[in-house]
Amino acid sequence: MSEKVRTIEWEMMDKRKFIPLNLAGSFALTASAYPFSLVKTRLQVQHGLENYGGAFDAFVKIAKYEGIRGFYKGFLVSCFGLISGTGYIMTYEAMRSFLSKRGIEDSSTRGFIAGGIAALIGRTFANPLEIVTQRMMIMGQRKGINDFVKIPENVIRIKVDKTNALRSILSVISSMAKADGIKGFYRGFFMSLTTTVPAGALWWFFYHNYQGLLEPILTHQVPVVAQQCLAATLGGITTTTLVNPLDLIRTRLQVERTGSIRKTLQVLWKEEKLGIVTKGLSAKLFSTILVSSLSIGGYEVIKRLSVRQKYKKLVAW
């Protein structure tokens, strides 16, 4: 097992297999994790505990008063992000290969640099989609049969067509464009970069580091892909906990249009004090554990299925 390849590099894969398989896997993962992302966003946007007492309470109320569809508001918009996500992973793999050719062989270091660069490029394309998705996530919330959640004052009012998802999406886009112009789709972009770039770099850095720590302990008992899933989960938990305060500020900036990082931080400190560190974290951690383990499990299997014929016998499963 120790002589076989554990990390499959970019040049070892058949891209004609890798790209469509990655798109399919990303869709399945997005569908699985989306409800957790929606709950996280709602918890971060609410002031104090005015609508939900926590992640569990949010899940119960959404299921009771909005039904299954309530967990998937804005999901159609997020699906367009699959293209951006595939571009992200291709950038990451290509950059790892580039760094290797430039003499940087340490896997964690290459992961840190490539992850940061991929996150930067991916965020540029994903930011408008994320903002539209977030706006749709918080629309039509209920905390009772006829008790609608009050939308924060600065959030653009949007008429949602419950019978036509595409019409609702176009309504959100049109309302945002009229209110803020193109810059509205990049609201909080700088804050997004201060969140996603470190998160992207740290996640891959911890992922490869945890692999190194787990390998001597689990090599003979656990399959390589299972070890990678565990390493990804630990890396995701560590990264999410570290960047959660930044993610909270970013969400408030994008959804409530609070104007500046300083003002947003002042409002959050007044409302939450040290709760800034953990607000929305439980839902985010559930999502992270699910996404990290499933994404890497699927990703590493897809990479192995996409390996060129001459490398197949060299790869460890």
pLDDT at 145 over 70: no
pLDDT at 49 over 70: yes
pLDDT at 70 over 90: no
Q: What is the pLDDT of residue 1?
A: 41
Distance CA 59, CA 36 (A): 9
Q: What's the mean pLDDT in 291-296?
A: 84
> In this structure, is the dihedral angle defined by the CA atoms of residues 131, 132, 134 and 139, taken in order, positive or negative?
positive
Q: Which of 4-13, 229-238, 246-255 has the lowest mean pLDDT?
A: 246-255
Q: What's the mean pLDDT in 233-240?
A: 93
pLDDT at 154 over 50: no
Q: What is the pLDDT of residue 65?
A: 86
Q: What is the pLDDT of residue 202?
A: 94
Top-ranked range on mean pLDDT: pick from 2-6, 43-47, 154-158, 289-293: 289-293
Q: What is the pLDDT of residue 147?
A: 54
| Each residue's pLDDT tens digit, 295-312 | 888 889 999 999 998 888
Stronger pLDDT, 86 or 153, i.e. the higher one = 86
DSSP string across 232-273: HHHHHHHHHHHHHHHHHHHHHHHHH----HHHHHHHHHHHHG
Q: What is the pLDDT of residue 135?
A: 76
Global pTM value: 0.68
Helix, coil or strand: residue 148: strand
Q: What is the pLDDT of residue 140?
A: 62
Q: Kindly report the average pLDDT of the chain as a whole number.
A: 82
Residue type, 51: N
The number of beta carbons lying within 10 Å of the beta carbon of residue 139 is 20
| Each residue's pLDDT tens digit, 73-120 | 888 887 877 877 788 888 999 999 999 999 998 989 999 999 999 999
Q: Which of 122-136, 215-229, 231-245 has the lowest mean pLDDT?
A: 122-136
7, 242 contact by CB (below 8 A): no
Exposure of 35 in the CB half-sphere (CA atoms within 13 A): 18
